[in-house]
Structure 1
Amino acid sequence: MDLSHPIWQEAEGGFRVSYDASVPLKELESTTDPLVIRRIWKELWNELHHQGDVGLASYLALPQLVRVGRAKGLFDWNLVGLCCV
């Protein structure tokens, strides 16, 4: 799903409330700052996965995470972990 699609604004994250994951995904795509990348990973972990719960935003984020991860060489435990939960 393209990051500009309106469904991102309506999709639920792990807390079962609306969470627009396109915002941090766009930021992850554009930044090279390691501190910003670390903050984005933390946000995505907190919002996309909560005590075993995931939502539509969590599933929509997967192909985008893989795409951005491949393009930027971000293959660390955060990417793998978010794709596995």
Structure 2
Amino acid sequence: MGDRWQVEVDRGVCIGSGMCVNHAPAGFRLDSARQSHPAEPETDANEAVLAAAEGCPVEAIMITLAESGEAVFPPEE
């Protein structure tokens, strides 16, 4: 069984660029204020969601392992 991720968007940082929706249309939605939110807060690990987090121009997307809370993105330094 693969990893499960907890996906969060810091709506105070999100600028509504829509890059996350472009990278992972099944993983993110923009609301009427153009603020991003995950389609599902917990999801199977997948490259599209990771690409969305990596491509966010303001790094508003955080991904952690659902089971342990360990950071996936951004990586802990």
* Length-normalised TM-score, structure 2: 0.34
1 or 2 for the larger relative contact order (CA 8 Å, sep ≥6)? 2
Looking at secondary structure, tell me which structure has more strand per residue.
2
* Length-normalised TM-score, structure 1: 0.32
